[in-house]
Amino acid sequence: MPASFGYSMTGNTDIDQNGYPDLIVGVFGADKAVLFRSRPVIGVNATLDITPQIINPEEKNCQISSTNTFVSCFKVKYCLAAFGSGAPQTLNFRVDITLDRLKQKETTKRALFLHSRTSQYTKNTTVNNDRTLACEEQEVFLRDDREFRDKITPISVAMEY
């Protein structure tokens, strides 16, 4: 680009009719201009709730179906809401939830999802573009306390989307 790129600029005009103002940047003395098109901006609100906050390992109120073993459990609930002017009516997200994220090895993880017996949960989900919450809840169980040493450090749960 020549040194005079950006000598003139104009905005606040929707050239491509997508509801967002575009920007035209001119190059002085070159009879050229560059169009920068704006795209829809999506706002996302996400929540992650764990209930109960304190887990009692003696309270075994869930059952692992494959072994009929009763275990301590808690619920992980995530919600997504999205909005964006000019964006499609439905928006697709991939949600990843990781249990006990600070523990590196799968064998040292203290909590697992009840349905899969893994520490990772992934789902493709569709959210309406109207700020309506789309929620899902998963049951998580605490491994037998004889299988791990760390009973003090909080079990961190991370969500990415």
- What residues have CB less than 8 Å from 155, skipping those under 6 apart? 55, 99, 100, 110, 111
55 vs 97: CA distance, rounded Å? 19
The number of folded domains in the chain is 2
56 and 17 fall within a common domain: no
32 lies in the same domain as 48: no
CATH number of the domain residue 73 falls in: 2.60.40.1460
Reported confidence tier of residue 1, pLDDT bands at 50, 70, 90: low
Over 70: is that where the pLDDT of 112 sits? yes
Specify the residue for token string 């017996």.
117
Range of the domain at 17: 5-36
With a pLDDT cut of 70, the percent of the chain lying above it is 99
Where is pLDDT greater, at 13 or 122?
Answer: 122
Mean pLDDT of 3-12: 84
Do both 70 and 26 map to the same domain?
A: no
Q: Which two tokens stand for residue 119?
A: 């520490």
Predicted TM-score (pTM) of this structure: 0.76
Q: Do 82 and 100 share a domain, yes or no? A: yes
Q: What is the pLDDT of residue 113?
A: 96
Does the pLDDT of residue 138 top 70, yes or no?
Answer: yes
Residue 151 tokens, joined: 């009973």
Query: 26 with 88, same domain?
Result: no
DSSP string, 32-81: EEEEE---PPPEEEEEEEEESSS--TT---EEETTTTEEE-EEEEEEEEE
